[in-house]
Structure 1
Amino acid sequence: MIKVTCAVIIKNGLILAVQRNATQSNPLKWEFPGGKIENGESETDCLLREIQEELEIKVKLDQRLTPVQCNYERNPIELIPYLVTHLSGAIQLQEHIDFKWLLPEELESMDWADADLPVVQEVLNLTSENLIERRV
């Protein structure tokens, strides 16, 4: 099973979604940014590296959320999400084709990659309990 991290990036009460390009697996699906953990790399180091490489922004990791296991056709993955605060920088997409800053109530309207769907639901639960608003 491939371990993959992802960041639920929050800025001014909005949550970042990024769109995969047409040549990647899960083409044109929306996801939370992140990537594969390399050998000898911690989850947090991986996530900070991936966000810098993919988006060129600085973030602060706040809280680990519930990992998700997903059996994609080629490889099963364990997606390890974190709530993350945007600190600085303007997004410069390196791998994705689009991004959107969404209100929590807009999250369900996006066409998410399967592994990200449970993360969306957890984020919505945290939002309904006012646990995310305190972070922004």
Structure 2
Amino acid sequence: MLEVTCAIIQNGQQLLICQRSEAMRLPLKWEFPGGKVENNETTEACIVREIKEELNLDVAVWKALNPVTHHYPEFSIRLYPFVCRLLGGELKLKEHKQALWVARSELRNFDWAAADRPVVDEVVHAAI
């Protein structure tokens, strides 16, 4: 079981979503950005590191949402979502095809990776 984090990054009333590249697993699916937890790393430290590495953004964890366990045909993940505040940095994509700032009301208009769908539901209904 892979342990993975994702960030719901807020900037004003908008949230950052990313589209996976053609070279990644689950190509062209949308996700909240994040990545794998390394050995001896907390999930909070992981999300801050991954967002800096993948997007060149600095974030602070505000609160955790409900973890999601999802079984894909080839692998299983335990996804730890965090609501994060944008602190700074200049968005630069290193792995993803594209990134968009969208309103919460627009989230369901995208083709999400299956593990991210419960997170989308929680974000749409939660007062974050």
How high is the TM-score relative to the length of structure 1? 0.92
Q: Which runs of 4+ in 1 moved over 4 A?
A: none
The structure richer in strand per residue is: 2
Question: What SS does structure 2 have at the residue aligned with 1:10?
Answer: strand
Match of 2:5 in 1: 5
Q: Aligned partners of 1:38, 1:46: CA distance in 2, in Å?
A: 7
- Kindly report the root-mean-square deviation, in angstroms, between the aligned alpha carbons of the 2 structures: 0.7
Question: What SS does structure 1 have at the residue aligned with 2:108?
Answer: helix
Match of 1:94 in 2: 94
Pairwise mapping of residues 1-136 of structure 1 onto structure 2 (< 5 A)?
A: 1-126=1-126, 131-132=127-128
CA offset at residue 89 of structure 1? Answer: 1.5
Question: What SS does structure 2 have at the residue aligned with 1:52?
Answer: helix
CA offsets, 1:25-68, max 9 Å, x none? Answer: 11000000000101111101111110000000111100000000
CA offsets, 1:69-114, max 9 Å, x none? Answer: 1101221000000000111112100110100100011000011000
5+ residue gaps, structure 1, are: none
Q: Aligned partners of 1:81, 1:29: CA distance in 2, in Å?
A: 17
- % identical equivalent positions: 44
How high is the TM-score relative to the length of structure 2? 0.98
Question: What SS does structure 1 have at the residue aligned with 2:62?
Answer: strand
Aligned length: 128
